[in-house]
Structure 1
C-alpha cells in the first residue's frame, strides 16, 4: 500500500530555504516586497515539494468560504423536495465558483426548542438559499436575519431575493393546451383546495387554480372546479372523485381535466379506469409536474421549472454576494411537455 506524502507547510518551506515563514507567505501571495529571484526560488520549492495552501485557514482569514448553505425547511423528517431544484442550484453555484452545503431543518422540532441550523451557527458559508413549502415562522426569519448573511428564497413569492415558478401561468398554459385541442368542458381537480384553510395551502395551489380560472374566462368557458369541501382523507379523494364523475350525465361530464399535480392525476387515472373511461379517447388529462413520465405513463404536462428555478436562485445569490444589496425576484415560466393523454374530444 503506497504511503501518503506528508503535508508541506509554509514553515517547512521556510526551513528548507533558510528564510522566514512570513517571507514564504508574501512570496506565495505575490506581494512586491519579495525580490523576484527569491520569489522564484520559493515558488519552485513549493511546486517541487507539493505545497498546497491551507484553504480553511485562508477562508477564515478572508471570511470567504466559496460555499453556500441550502437550507431545506421540512415539516417531517421524511419530507423531500424536488431533486431538480437541488440539481439546478448545484449547477448554478458551480458556474459562479461556489460549492453547495445542504442542511434540512425539521420546522416543528426547531419551533419546539431544537437547535438552529448548524450551517448558521458555524458561519462557514458565504450565503444561504432557503426552500420551504409554507411561509416560514417568525423564529426562522429572525435566525436568518441575525446571521447577517445574504439570503435568497427558493419557491417563495417575494418581491425581492426569491426565485419561484409562474404557477399562474402554468394553470393558464394547461387550459390553453386543452382549448387548442378542441375541449370546452374542462374541469380543474385539486383534492385539497376546497377544504384546507388558506394558511395551510401552498401558494402554488391557489395560483395554478387562478390561472385556470383566468384562461377559462379568456376562452369564454364555464369553469368547473373539482375539490371536496370536507376533508375525505388522502385515500378518500379517489372515492370522492369517482362518486362525483359517476353521478354526472355524459353530456355534462368534462371531456378534459387539468390537475394540480401528480397525485391528482393518478387519482383521475384510477377513477377513469373504474368508470371504463379511456385516456385520452374519453377523457383528456394534463397536469403540472416536473416531468412527463408519471408512474410509468407518459402524460401531457405543464412542466414545473424546478431546475431552472434552482439555477435562477443561485444566480440571484451570486449577485448578492457581489455586493448587491437586494435583487428583483425571478419568476420562472412553465412549458408544455408532450405526452399521450390529450387529444381532441369525441363528443
Structure 2
C-alpha cells in the first residue's frame, strides 16, 4: 500500500482531511485542550493501525523541534521531590501527545555552567524543561535560563510566573477552619524544621504555618508559636509530641506538617484515643482521587489530610510547557492548585473538659 493511500485511509476512518492527519502526525496541530489531545490520540492510533509512522528525525530537522521534553532533577535528593503521582501525570500527559520524555539529574556545578545550560536543549535533543528543583535554587542557574530564554516550567516551586505550585496557605487555613467548626479551640501546629532553615526551606513550610495562624487569629485564638517545636531532632520528635499530649492543658487537635503516623503513636503512648480524645489532620499526596493512605494501612485508620493533587500538577505542567515552547519570550502566570480536603478517620468533635483532665 502506498503512503499516500495510507493517508487517505486514515483520513477516511477519522473523518478528517489528509492534511489534518499530516499536521497531527507531524506535531503541527495545537494540542492544549483535552478534547484536542484526545482527538489527536485517536488519529495516531488509527495511523499506527495502518502502519503509518512519519520520520521523526527528518521532522525534527525540518521544524527545529525534537518532540521531546526533559525533566530536570537535582542530584541533591532533598531538592527534587518526585512522587509517583507527579511523574505519572507528566508521563501520561506527554504520552497522550506522543511526546518523548528524558529524565536527568545534574549537580549545581553543571546547572550553573555557562557551557552546560545554554546548550542543554540541543545536547539533550529536547524542546523544553520541566524543572523539579524545589528550593535552594542557584541564582546563576535562574539567570542562565532567563538570559538564553530556555523554555522552562518550574514544578512545585512558588513564583509569579512559569511555575506549578500548591495553595498550601489556603489548604492549611481550610484544615484549621474544619477543626474549628468541630468545636476545637486548642489546636496545635507541629513542624520541626529548624529556624535557621526557614528562609531556604520549601515554601510550604511557611505557607502552611501562616495559613493555620491566619485561621486561628480570625477565630480570636492564639496560634502555636512557630518557634515552639523548631529544631527538635528527629530522634526526639516522638517524645516531644507525647509530652505535649500528656500536658494538663493539652491540645484537642493537631495540624501536622507531615508524619501524621508519629502523632498517632504519640497519642497512644499518652493514653489518648483518636478521634475521641484527639483530632488529627495532616498533608498528603492524593492517590486515585483521595488522600494517600498507602503508608497507613497497617494502622487501620485513614489520617485526615489536605491532599496535594500531584498528578494534576504533572498534567498542568506539561500544558504550560508546551505553551512556553511556542512562546519562550512570554511569562505565563503561575498555576496554583488548591488542596482537597479528605476527612479520613481522625477528625471528631472537640473533647470535653472531663476527658481533658
TM-score, with normalisation over the residues of structure 2?
A: 0.73
- CA 1:225–1:188: 2 relative to 1, 3 Å: farther
Report the CA distance between 1:196 and its aligned residue: 3.5
Q: Tell me the distance in 2 between the aligned counterparts of 1:51 and 1:302.
A: 46
Q: Give yes or no for contact 1:91–1:311 (8 Å, CA) kept in 2.
A: yes
CA gap 1:80/1:142 in 2 versus in 1, 3 angstroms: same
Residue 71 of structure 1, CA deviation: 0.8
The 5-angstrom pairing of residues 1-347 of structure 1 reads 53-76=54-77, 80-107=81-108, 110=110, 116=116, 120=121, 122-145=123-146, 148-192=149-193, 194-225=194-225, 228=228, 231-246=231-246, 248-249=247-248, 252-261=249-258, 263=259, 265-290=260-285, 291-293=291-293, 294-296=295-297, 297-323=301-327, 325-347=330-352
8 Å Cα contact 2:80-2:133 kept in structure 1: no
Conserved in 2, the CA contact under 8 Å of 1:103 and 1:119?
no
**RMSD after superposition:** 3.2
Unaligned ranges ≥5, structure 1:
1-28, 31-49
Check the 8 A contact 2:282/2:304 in 1, yes or no: yes
Q: In the comparison of the two structures, how many residue pairs are matched? A: 297
Tell me the alpha carbon deviations over residues 248-276 of structure 1, each in whole angstroms, 9 at most, x when there is no partner.
Answer: 21xx2110001112x2x122112111111
Q: Deviations over 1:126-155 (max 9, x none)?
A: 111101231410232245346543111111
Q: Is the partner of 1:199 in helix, strand or coil?
A: coil
Q: Is the 8 A contact 1:277 1:283 kept in 2?
A: yes
SS at the partner of 2:251? Answer: coil
Deviation at 1:245, TM superposition (A): 3.2
CA contact (8 A) 1:260 1:288 kept: yes
The CA distance in 1 between the partners of 2:53 and 2:166, in whole Å, is: 43
Does the CA-based 8 Å contact 1:120-1:147 persist in structure 2? no
Displacement of 1:304 after TM fit? 1.3
Shift of the alpha carbon at 1:102? 1.6
Check the 8 A contact 2:69/2:100 in 1, yes or no: yes
Partner SS for 1:128 = strand
In structure 2, do the counterparts of structure 1 residues 256 and 225 end up closer, same or farther at CA, with 3 Å as the change threshold?
farther
- TM-aligned CA deviation for residue 64 of structure 1: 1.1
**Separation in structure 1 between the aligned mates of residue 81 and residue 136 of structure 2, nearest angstrom:** 17
Deviations 1:2-45 (A, max 9, x none): xxxxxxxxxxxxxxxxxxxxxxxxxxx99xxxxxxxxxxxxxxx
1:172–1:214 contact (8 Å) kept in structure 2: yes
Q: TM-score, normalised by structure 1?
A: 0.75
How far, CA to CA, are the matches of 2:154 and 2:122 in structure 1?
A: 19
Matched position secondary structure for 2:195: coil
Q: Within 1, Cα distance between the matches of 2:242 and 2:138?
A: 38
Distance 1:233 1:58 in 2: 56
Return the index of the structure with the highest Cα Rg: 1
Contact 2:81-2:134 at 8 Å conserved across structures: no
* Alignment deviations for residues 308-343 of structure 1 (CA, whole Å, 9 cap, x no partner): 222221111122223362211111000111310001
Distance 2:311 2:55 in 1: 34
